[in-house]
Amino acid sequence: MLKSNLWFVSRNADRVLLHRYCIPMSNDQNTVSKPIITMQQLMLRYPTGKVALSGVSLAISQGSFVYLTGESGAGKSTLLRMFYGGLKPSSGQMGVQQWDMRSVSESDVRELRQRTGIIFQDHKLLFSRTVFENVALPLRVQGWDKERLVPRVRKVLGFVGLDDRLWSYPEALSGGEQQRIAIARAMVTNPPIILADEPTGNLDEETARKVLDLLMSLNQSGTTVIMATHDLHLLTSHPGRVVQLHQGSLVGDSYE
């Protein structure tokens, strides 16, 4: 195993302090040139006949930070769903990690999702469970024993600056804290790729920047981060590759 120095955010009055932190990283996360996602003339047509994506050709390198931008209905969330097997291509080619998404089986999709961290705009936390139980859930699914699980959960909660809220319930947290818990849950299994669907959409600008700081720190460790967003003003402080969709088609691909 390799170790990569990360920066994690902790609270100190109204400021955010950056501290050195170490997260284990697997060897296959240490290369930025190898494509982790490839698409060629990708098309998705719903049974109703509506075309959600058309002619999308794109390659995303391992270790990239990519913004998916575009108006509401442009296809951002649809594309993210395809990255974790929620939707299959109607035509064209699509490879995600080591899988051909045109022919993946149900067991393949389960394995793919275990290797993918997903962050939703509305968090999708279990409000009847504590912060610890929410973050530990992916590890329990993978069969981690208590001796490994507890320190790992504490470590990722430390990374997002919420190790003091271990036994709190989500309803007692602010919106920004809930989103940070969602980030901790997404990263707890150390996946090679994290998908974030409008993770800053319901947050004020300062809190949104803190959330984006965390995602950038994960990316610096070698994790591929793909984030759907309409908050283009965040690019001024957090630059990256910008992939623009319009009515289901790829219309822009640049670094900003």
- Residue 255's pLDDT is 87
Domain around 241? 2-33+62-87+103-255
Within-domain flag for 130: yes
- Residue 21's pLDDT is 33
Question: Please, where are the H alpha helices in the chain?
Answer: 76-83, 106-114, 131-141, 146-159, 175-187, 205-220
Mean pLDDT, rounded, for 179-207? 94
Q: Are strands 91-96 and 99-100 parallel, antiparallel or unpaired?
A: antiparallel
What would the two tokens of residue 129 be? 């469970």
Mean pLDDT, rounded, for 159-185? 96
pTM of the full predicted structure?
0.85
- Tell me what the pLDDT averaged over the chain comes to: 87
Number of domains in the chain: 1
- Residue 231's pLDDT is 82
Within-domain flag for 176: yes
Stated as kind and residue range, the H or E segment containing 94 is strand 91-96
Within-domain flag for 96: no
In the block, residue with structure tokens 């929410």: 134
State pLDDT tens for residues 120-129.
988 899 999 9
Q: Do residues 130 and 167 make contact, with C-beta atoms less than 8 angstroms apart?
A: yes
Within-domain flag for 188: yes
What would the two tokens of residue 59 be? 């390659």
Kindly write down the DSSP assignment for every residue of 15-61, as one continuous string.
EEEEEEEEEEE-GGGS-SSSEEEEEEEEEEE-TTS-EEEEEEEEEEE
CATH number of the domain enclosing 133 = 3.40.50.300
Q: Do residues 231 and 246 make contact, with C-beta atoms less than 8 angstroms apart?
A: no
For residue 155, give the nearest of 125, 135, 130, 134 by alpha carbon. Answer: 135
Within-domain flag for 94: no
Within-domain flag for 206: yes
Within-domain flag for 19: yes
What would the two tokens of residue 21 be? 């932190």
* Helix/strand/coil for 101: coil
- Residue 33's pLDDT is 65
- Residue 5's pLDDT is 34
Within-domain flag for 97: no
- Residue 2's pLDDT is 34
In the block, residue with structure tokens 């939707």: 87
Q: Do residues 211 and 8 make contact, with C-beta atoms less than 8 angstroms apart?
A: no
pLDDT tier for residue 232 given thresholds of 50, 70 and 90: confident
